[in-house]
């Protein structure tokens, strides 16, 4: 839902790839430009199975939201770096479980903002904030957030495929801590991240090549170790099975075929604040 004081959006630069539009290309969407599709093609040249990772991330997100809105009883979500609207958005999945769920989406891509505002205009319980997730204080104090989310009750913070685009020099741990510290007891954090499988792993070379492609094309993309990713959830209680490849987090059924190497390089976790 668009409030009257929302800022005017900057113009879209079709000559530079966008993280959100590149993900859209991986998901087979149409809201991307040739420059975004070139990043996609470069990833395919590295590993033809690369699109599986994007689909696994989307499927994981759906399972996580079902758990949060259902089993965990969460009825308010703050989704940072939400990306372009697609099938099975957070608000759609959550509101099917509980029609009273409130969702605030946050993104700093003008294409995402334009589509998000149009999509959500008729949904009174879903809101969009044009802002940079790397500025948690600005987001947490924004009127859109403080008006519709009640920080006296548990909520869900979604950081799905976002923190691996926060460079080390930008302080990803400090950024996550700022969000987590603001959450009330009983809240949940969902985090997915590119995984560095570690020295000696047969998948490490692939991780590095995919990482380098993202850094070169969109300016960010950081594979981090299992231990480093877990450190972003310090002080929280992981929900079983903990931090695992997203395909292994509460899957809907057994795998139909062996995992491709790229599917082992995206890890996800959900954790509760005591």
Return the HEC string of 205-247.
HHHHHHHHHHHHHHCCCCCECHHHHHHCCCCCEECCCCCEEHH
Instruction: Tell me the mean pLDDT in the region 185-193.
Output: 98
Instruction: Give me the residues paired with residue 129 across strands.
Output: 106
The whole-angstrom separation of Cα 249 and Cα 239 is 10
Q: Kindly state the helix (H) or strand (E) to which residue 156 belongs, with its residue range.
A: strand 156-160
Does pLDDT of 71 surpass 80? yes
Long-range Cβ contacts of 96-101 (<8 Å, 24+ apart): 97/65, 97/66, 97/69, 97/70, 98/69, 98/70, 100/75, 100/125, 101/69, 101/74, 101/75, 101/76, 101/77, 101/125
pLDDT on residue 117? 74
* pLDDT of residue 7 exceeding 70: no
Is residue 270's pLDDT more than 70? yes
pLDDT digits (tens, 9 = 90+) for 42-64: 999 999 999 999 999 999 999 99
Instruction: Give the DSSP H or E segment for 159.
Output: strand 156-160
Least confident stretch, 46-50, 87-91, 113-117, 156-160? 113-117
| Secondary structure letter of residue 15 according to DSSP | T
pLDDT, one tens digit per residue, over 137-173 is 999 999 999 999 999 999 999 999 999 999 999 999 9
Mapped onto helix, strand or coil, the DSSP state of residue 36 is helix
Count each helix (H run) and each strand (E run) in the chain, helices first.
Answer: 10, 8
- Exposure string of 183-219, with b = 16+ CB inside 10 Å and e = fewer, is beeebbbbbbbbbbbeeeeebbebbeebbebbeebbe
Q: What are phi and psi of 59, to 5 degrees?
A: -65, -40
Give the pairing of strands 266-272 and 237-238: antiparallel
Q: In the structure, what pLDDT confidence band is assigned to residue 30 with cuts at 50, 70 and 90?
A: confident
Percent of the chain topping pLDDT 90:
73
Q: What is the pLDDT of residue 4?
A: 34
Q: How far apart are CA 267 and CA 16, in angstroms?
A: 28
Rounded Cα gap, residues 8 and 26, in angstroms: 28
pLDDT reading at 5 higher than 50 = no
Q: What is the mean pLDDT of residues 118-130?
A: 82
Fold designation for 19-272:
Rossmann fold (3.40.50)
Q: Does the pLDDT at position 14 exceed 90?
A: no
What is residue 253's predicted lDDT score, i.e. its pLDDT? 86
pLDDT of residue 31: 85
At 122, the pLDDT band (50, 70, 90 cuts) reads: confident
Residue 119: its pLDDT value, please? 66
| pLDDT above 90: residue 76 | yes
Q: Report the SS3 class of residue 155.
A: coil
* Pairing outcome for strands 102-107 and 76-80: parallel
For the segment 203-222, what is each residue's pLDDT rounded down to a tens digit?
999 999 999 998 999 899 99
* Greatest Cα-to-Cα distance within the chain, rounded to the nearest angstrom: 54
Domain locations in the chain as residue ranges? 19-272
Of the pLDDT bands very low, low, confident and very high (cuts 50, 70, 90), residue 186 is very high
**Mean pLDDT, the chain, whole residue set:** 91
């Amino acid at each position: 839902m668009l409030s009257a004081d929302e800022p005017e959006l900057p113009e879209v630069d079709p000559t530079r790839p966008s993280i959100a539009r590149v993900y859209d290309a991986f998901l087979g969407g149409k809201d991307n430009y040739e420059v975004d599709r070139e990043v996609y093609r470069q990833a395919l040249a590295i590993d033809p199975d690369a699109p599986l990772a994007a689909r696994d991330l989307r499927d994981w997100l759906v399972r996580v939201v079902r758990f949060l809105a259902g089993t965990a009883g969460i009825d308010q979500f703050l989704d940072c770096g939400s990306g372009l609207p697609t099938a099975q958005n957070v608000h759609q999945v959550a509101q099917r479980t509980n029609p009273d769920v409130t969702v605030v989406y946050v993104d700093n891509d003008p294409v995402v903002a334009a589509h998000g505002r149009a999509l959500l205009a008729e949904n009174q319980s879903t809101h969009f904030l044009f802002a940079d997730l790397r500025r948690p204080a600005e987001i947490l104090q924004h009127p859109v957030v403080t008006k519709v989310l009640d920080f006296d009750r548990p909520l869900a913070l979604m950081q799905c495929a976002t923190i691996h685009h926060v460079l080390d020099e930008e302080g990803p741990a400090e950024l996550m801590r700022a969000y987590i510290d603001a959450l009330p007891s009983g809240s949940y954090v969902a985090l997915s991240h590119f995984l560095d499988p570690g020295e000696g792993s047969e998948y490490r070379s692939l991780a590095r090549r995919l990482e380098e492609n993202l850094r070169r094309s969109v300016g960010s993309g950081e594979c981090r170790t299992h231990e480093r990713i877990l450190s972003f959830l310090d002080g929280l209680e992981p929900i079983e099975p903990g931090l695992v490849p997203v395909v292994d987090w509460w899957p809907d059924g057994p795998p139909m075929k062996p995992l491709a190497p790229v599917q082992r390089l995206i890890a996800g976790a959900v954790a509760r604040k005591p």
